[in-house]
Chains A and B, each alone.
Chain A
Amino acid sequence: MNSKSRSLKFSEAIQEATALALRKDPSVYIMGLGVPDPKGLFGTTLGLEAEFGSHRVLDMPISENGMTGVAIGSAISGMRPILTHQRVEFALLSVEQIVNQAAKWFHMTAGKKNIPLVIRMIIGRGWGQGAQHSQSLESWFAHIPGLKVVMPATPHDAKGLLISAVEDNNPVIYIEHRWLHNTFGEVPEESYTTPIGKAHVVSEGSDLTIVAHSYMTIEALKAVKILINEGINCDVIDLRTIRPLDIETIISSVEKTKKLLVVDNGWMHFGVSAEIISIVSERLSTSLETNPKRIGIEDVPIPSTRALAKYVYPTPIRIAREVASILDQEIEIQDIDENIPTDQPDASFTGPF
């Protein structure tokens, strides 16, 4: 087995996973608005049409619900579609087909027909994108029996989870954060899978358990760096899969630390953090030393102006302060420099958003 790896962008890891899947199985195809265009869906589909042809790498009409039905139908007749949406919000037009049809087909046919289908959705953030380009709606999809929901945070998992999703025999919602596309990480060259339903402990410590997913994993890891300087060491669990939730990894960490902070990538009410805290409370309430806590997106729509949007998202500093507060420790953290823009992930990221 070739175990060579090199540093790749998250977007390149997605592209590579897609190419491997298309190469391996002639029934796989990818379809979505802009998939074969010169920008290649933020670089994630670049070059695929040239290698695999326009019959397997397709653009599509702006008919999200209809085209989701088309993808489902093609899965019924033996294909393995990957459908893409440039923002989560466009996929909302197809909730009928996703929830009523794709998620129910295996059940409705008493297990006689499954729907292998991957639907990629991108969460936007920053550059004034506002209310309809910034929503993290994984809990909507995770609510539905019959769907799986994955949210990679690293290039390694972006590739491994996409290959797993394509090989999975069920509908898998693959949600990627736009601010992750330009992040770098080590990615093996060969085809490999990151198992669906397995969380990953990305940082170890015994003081407190932080559970995060998607871009909030990155923010939590930044918080951990701040906290280490203060002598505070945390377990950070990157969920990677929202449904099925890897509750055992969370429980095992919280049994060790006896303290829990969930950093939600979306709204907290009825969301991922609500679910995790419910399950942990049900299972471990007597052994917890502090009340489980959570932070997440403020309970408001996300505005366009950066002057207000900056209040909406958890930041590494907010996460670090929350951890210190749970531990009842005084820590010294300077406030964010007002001159650093909050509407881009870092200075190197200049869009397109």
Chain B
Amino acid sequence: MIDTSTLKQCKKDKHGVMGMLSKDIYLELFNQMLRIRNIELKIAELYSEWEMRCPVHLSIGQEAVASGVCSALESKDNVFCGHRSHAYYLAKGGDLKGMLAEIYGKATGIVEGMGGSQHLIDLDAGLIAAVPIVGSTIPIAVGSAWGDLMQNNGVMSAAFFGEGATEAGVFHESLNFAALQKVPIIFVCENNGFSVYSNLEVRQSSKRNNVTIAEGHGLNTLKGDGNDILEVYDLTKKAIELIKQGKGPVYMEFDTYRWLEHCGPDDDDYLGYRDEKEVKEWKERCPLKNYQDFLIDEKLINQDEIQDMTSKLDKEIEEAVQFAKSSPFSKKELLFSTVYSN
């Protein structure tokens, strides 16, 4: 329940949708981002033990989009993403123990070790598809949302992808069909400027604009700052409203930045593929730090409360790591029982 006694006009409510937010929501958004940041930092720290033996694509620096969008959705709603999947899973209410066990390849993982970090699929949490073939879950998301529409069950869907996926054919195919059938889906493009080491300049014409491309496919479009969680949350509420009004699917685009290497736990800036100044500027725009400063300025949180929140998260993370490490591996039979369904 929202505590209405603490309602506070959001200073960043540019679009007039968010209106009054309760303190609970401000703090929940902060807790979401802090939780993702600290879990990702823990994975980065433990990765060198070489017990997490699968590729990991960490979301440090990009916590705001996952947290803002998923917080605006309801628990019955569905999300879909690519290989950089941890943040969406956690923000969608996923099970941390199950996620870490999955990354450790254990039987207690959410898909019993069959998927690893790149396939955090959990129907109960509403992360329906996560795959590393760039763009491939976009049409699956459209189909799932279209199936929900055909069954009239009121479920809303969000498909997350990076700007690299907008170069794939299925991106355009999916937007076209979603607009044609008025599928209840939000397309969320996180532009972090890089596909592995290839920057936007070598992949897309400087004249290109993905927002106008989405408009051309017949979608509603919204664009915002992907490092500002309140803006992400606000725009997502706006997108949901548009869909509920029967105006069809929405394309949202957020600029953001990945801090660590494309795949793995380390910093890869020694390779010189991106400008030091650019990295520094984006780190100064840290979505977590800036939001924390905002909350402190607005007296919505103080240092003691932050410390308390951090301690609770540390404990949760430590327990989940121990759970994952001590869990058994799946048995050989699983290999043969999961090829065909009866």
Contact = CB atoms under 8 A, between A and B. Distances in A.
Interface stretch (B3-11, B167-175, B188-196, B259-267): B167-175
A280 interface: no
The main secondary structure of chain B at its interface with chain A is: helix
Interface stretch (A61-69, A157-165, A250-258): A61-69
Interface stretch (B25-33, B121-129, B270-278): B121-129
A325 interface: no
B129 A76 contact: yes
Contact of A77 (B148, B169, B172, B342): B148
Contact of B131 (A71, A100, A146): A100
B150 A108 contact: no
Interface in B284-342: 330, 334, 337-342
A110 B111 contact: yes
Interface in A56-110: 60-61, 63, 65-79, 96-97, 100-101, 106-110
A107 B136 contact: no
B114 A63 contact: no
B341 A70 contact: no
Contacts of A110: 111-115, 330, 334, 338
B146 interface: yes
B114 A69 contact: no
A231 interface: no
Given A63-B176, A101-B136, A74 B143 contact: yes
Given A101-B131, A107-B114, A74 B176 contact: no
Contacts of A148: 340
B282 interface: no
The size bracket of the interface on A is 35 or more
Nearest to A62: B173
Contacts of B129: 73, 76
B151 interface: yes
B139 interface: yes
A112 interface: yes
Given A67-B139, A70-B174, A106 B338 contact: yes
B84 interface: no
B185 to A, nearest CB: 10
Contacts of A60: 177
A148 B339 CA distance: 11
A94 B155 CA distance: 27
Contacts of A65: 139, 169-170, 173
B147 A108 contact: no
A313 B121 CA distance: 46
B85 interface: no
B142 interface: yes
A145 interface: yes
B177 A70 contact: yes
A67 B111 CA distance: 26
A352 interface: no
Contacts of B115: 108-110
Given A65-B170, A78-B151, A169-B342, A73 B121 contact: no
Interface string A106-135: 111111111000000000000000000000
The size bracket of the interface on B is 35 or more
Contacts of A100: 131, 133, 136
A61 B181 CA distance: 11
A71 B114 CA distance: 23
Given A61-B176, A66-B139, A77-B144, A112 B111 contact: yes
A350 B133 CA distance: 44
B86 interface: no
Given A79-B150, A100-B133, A101-B136, A73 B334 contact: no
Contact of A109 (B121, B138, B140, B342): B121
Given A61-B180, A65-B169, A73-B139, A78 B339 contact: no
Given A74-B150, A108-B121, A66 B114 contact: no
B140 A61 contact: no
Contact of A111 (B136, B176, B341): B341
A113 B173 CA distance: 25
Contacts of B133: 96, 100-101
Contacts of A76: 128-129, 140, 143-144, 147
Given A100-B131, A110-B338, A112-B111, A71 B176 contact: no
B180 A109 contact: no
A71 B177 contact: no
Contact of A107 (B128, B170, B338, B342): B338
B201 to A, nearest CB: 27
A101 B148 CA distance: 20
Interface of B: 111-115, 119, 121, 123, 128-129, 131, 133, 136-148, 150-151, 155, 169-170, 172-174, 176-177, 180, 330, 334, 337-342
Given A61-B180, A63-B176, A74-B147, 5 more contacts: A60-B177, A67-B177, A73-B129, A110-B338, A111-B341
20 contacts: A55-B150, A63-B169, A63-B173, A63-B176, A66-B142, A66-B170, A66-B174, A69-B137, A69-B143, A70-B142, A73-B146, A74-B143, A77-B143, A96-B133, A97-B139, A100-B131, A101-B140, A107-B339, A112-B121, A146-B339
